[in-house]
Structure 1
Amino acid sequence: MWPILLQFLRTNAPYITLPIAAVVGVIGYNLEGFLSDRYTPYSKPVQDQRLERLEEELLKDPTNVQKLKYKENVLGKNVSPSLQNN
């Protein structure tokens, strides 16, 4: 009797395990929804936060404005020692 039952289960394993997995998944999904808190508090986008921070810094001291130009030579980085001017 056992060999016949095991042979039946082995050949029909996908048809047996799919409904069992679906039931376990539905139960787990509903249990997680019941136990956990799905509320995510609202926060402003990072770009808006950055703009507000920059405006606040500018309003503190409006005379301290950085110019938009490079402070050092960008092409001078990672220069080979043989090409450096010493």
Structure 2
Amino acid sequence: MWPIFWTAMRTYAPYVTFPVAFVVGAVGYHLEWFIRGTPNTPGEERGIAELREDRKLEELNGRDSTQVLSLKDKLEFTPRAVLERNRAVKS
């Protein structure tokens, strides 16, 4: 009787092991969930890009957006180009 049983188990192993593994996995999953309890998920954390945007908006909120440097004034602070070729000539 045992040789017939082992031959059948060897032949139908995929059909037997998958349901057994599925049941063992499901029981283990639910047992672990029961022991640990409900997971405490923290609130959504904001990303670095969102934090940067908020910080930039806060900085802009306190300033007058109509008072900006002119492009001519900004030209004074640009680094010197090689041989002064790429720099606009001031009149």
Q: TM-score, normalised by structure 2?
A: 0.49
Shift in Å at residue 4 of structure 1? Answer: 1.5
User: What is the number of equivalent residue pairs in this alignment?
Assistant: 68
The percentage of counterpart residues that share the same residue type is: 41
| Structure 2 unmatched runs, 5+ | 63-73, 82-91
RMSD, aligned CA: 3.6
Q: TM-score, normalised by structure 1?
A: 0.51
| Structure 1 unmatched runs, 5+ | 61-66, 74-86
- Equivalent residue runs for 1:1-86 within 5 Å: 1-34=1-34, 35=36, 37-55=39-57
1:56 and 1:46, CA in 2 relative to 1: closer, same or farther beyond 3 A?
same
Distance 1:27 1:39 in 2: 23
Give 4+ residue runs of structure 1 displaced > 4 Å after superposition: 55-60
Task: Write the letter of the residue equivalent to 2:29.
Answer: Y
Question: Between Structure 1 and Structure 2, whose CA radius of gyration is higher?
Answer: 2
Distance 2:51 2:23 in 1: 45
